Amino acid sequence: MKLDRFISNRTAHSRQATRLLIASGRVHVAGCITHDPRHEVDQFVAISLDGELLQARQAHFLMLHKPVGYLSATSDPQHPTVMQLIPSPLREQLHIGGRLDRSSSGLLILTNDGLWSRRLTEPRIKLPKTYRVTTLRPISPETAERFAEGIYMTTEQLTTSPAQLQQLAPCEARLTIYEGRYHQVKRMFHAVGNQVVSLHRESMGAIVLDPALAAGEYRTLTTAEVASVDQAQTNA
């Protein structure tokens, strides 16, 4: 819906008067003054007039501690899905912002705000994602350097953004990557002759998996956690 229509529907102002008050800078959309009456708005933005809230952001943002064995999908005939861990009717509204493989565990974000979740996953934004990885073979000394240079992915015909590897034990490391391509971490280790045995996502940007959440549990994101992703867009 256009902003001028939204304001005139919610207030006593005519469409014409609404356009004037938007042009004069009295309307904030998502915290910023908007002068354009044709600006598209939906339920995912806060809208205020003269500092008075007309609409709060009506969005859901959850973090789930995904257990191993659950599919990042809405439904599946064979395997349990992460959506089954969220009660109905909330789960019907949600989608996943950055999937994890069935064999992976850790931070999974669920929301109904598509624009917001795109910022989590879009390679252009370069939001860091940190994984705890265990490997089949000891991690070779060149691995960190190879990952920092970027790994060429033949399917996509591109090189991954420089990633940071922090070795924790011979077969254990913390890896930070800046995209979320299909099986990316597994493919990166495969490219250096190793194999991932377990993969656990610890964080996405400033959002860190809450240690109070046992596998299968979820909680609502804090306002600061939600805002950190909006901020990531601004910094891109």
Active site residues per annotation: 101
All residues at 6 or more sequence positions from 141 whose CB lies less than 8 Å from its CB, including other chains: none
Position among 8, 112, 143, 184 found at the interface with ligand URA (CB under 6 A)? 184
Other C-beta atoms closer than 10 Å to the C-beta of 231 total 14
Shortest spacing between CB 222 and ligand URA, in angstroms: 24
The mark string for 89-108 relative to ligand URA (x by CB under 6 A, - otherwise) is -----------xx--x----
Q: Which of 156, 178, 183, 191 binds ligand URA (CB under 6 A)?
A: 183
- Single residue of 185, 204, 229, 232 touching ligand URA by CB under 6 A: 185
Smallest gap from Cβ 123 to ligand URA, in A, equals 13
Q: Given the complex with ligand URA, which of 41 and 100 has the nearer CB atom?
A: 100
Using CB under 6 A, count the residues that bind ligand URA.
8
Question: Given the complex with ligand URA, which of 37 and 180 has the nearer CB atom?
Answer: 180
Cβ count within 10 A of residue 223: 10
Q: 76 Cβ partners below 8 Å, 6+ apart?
A: none
Residue among 118, 186, 197, 228 that touches ligand URA (CB under 6 A): 186
Nearer to ligand URA, 27 or 188 (CB): 188
- Closest distance to ligand URA from the beta carbon of 93 (Å): 24
Q: Cβ closer to ligand URA: 8 or 184?
A: 184
User: Token pair 């933005």 is at which residue?
Assistant: 45
User: Looking at beta carbons only, is 132 or 186 nearer to ligand URA?
Assistant: 186
Site for ligand URA in 192-211 (CB under 6 A): 199
Scanning 43-51, 115-123, 162-170, 179-187 for contacts with ligand URA by CB under 6 A, the matching segment is 179-187
Q: What is the contact surface with ligand URA in residues (CB under 6 A)?
A: 100-101, 104, 183-186, 199
